[in-house]
Amino acid sequence: MKVAIIKYNAGNVQSVFYALDRLGVSYYLTDDEAEIRSADKVILPGVGEASSTMRSLRERGLDRVIPTLKQPFLGTCVGLQLMCRHSEEGNTDCMGIFNIDVKRFPAGKGLKVPHVGWNTIFDYQTPLTQGLQEKDYVYFVHSYYAELSPYTTAKTDYAQPFSAMLQKDNFYAAQFHTEISGQAGSRILENFLKLG
């Protein structure tokens, strides 16, 4: 199996490498269109800010390539947000795979922004959560969230319910960091890698 990790202006891809190493999967980091298209699976990791990371994708032409991919594709954290239509972070137009907007958590309500740490996910409607228990814990670091929508395949509650996971066709996304979410995150990655 060939797994392409998309190379762009995202931090901490090393933790994605470690997670795939633990699963015994071979992978390569690339921004080359032909290499991405020939991969069996594609991962868009995410640590960063929406406008600068989106600009980096545009500079490489990847904003046009990604929405046309046919193999299973997984975006995590800001990767999920860039797959949406628009983000309030930097007033950024994104790729529009999911026809929804990304909004900043409201101030107040006694909750800190960013949302950092372990939180539960629930209402699973995706093959990626097979083998998880309802309300398993995963690890989040974000100030912006994707609203609930028909694409929502798992939810989390912080200030209000929001999309923890999204799916449309071959495109899957997780707001949390699968690669540092312990056994639950490892199982989600494993399930993604098993997709046909």
Give whole-number Cα distances, 37 to 28, 32, 63, 181, in Å. Answer: 13, 9, 14, 28
- d(C-alpha 185, C-alpha 187), whole Å: 5
Q: What is the pLDDT of residues 103-153, one digit of tens each?
A: 999 877 678 999 999 999 999 999 999 999 999 999 999 999 999 999 999
Helix (H) or strand (E) holding 41: strand 41-44
- Please tell me the predicted confidence (pLDDT) of residue 196: 84
- Residue 116 belongs to domain spanning: 3-194
In this prediction the pTM is: 0.96
Whole-number Å distance between alpha carbons of 24 and 67: 28
Size (the chain), residues: 196
pLDDT category of residue 11 using cuts at 50, 70 and 90: low
The total domain count for the chain is: 1
In the sheet that 144-146 helps form, which strands lie side by side, from edge to edge? 92-93, 84-87, 98-104, 144-146
> Among all residues, which ones are annotated catalytic?
77, 177, 179
**Cα 76 to Cα 185: distance, rounded to the nearest angstrom:** 11
Question: Tokens 């026809």 sit at which residue?
Answer: 99
Residue 168 · residue 98 · CB < 8 Å = yes
Tell me the per-residue pLDDT of 89-103, one tens digit each, with 9 for 90 and over: 999 999 999 999 999
Q: For residue 104, give both structure tokens.
A: 């900043």
- CATH code: domain of residue 83: 3.40.50.880
Percent of the chain exceeding pLDDT 70 equals 98
Q: Which of 124, 60, 49, 114 is nearest to 87 (CA)?
A: 49
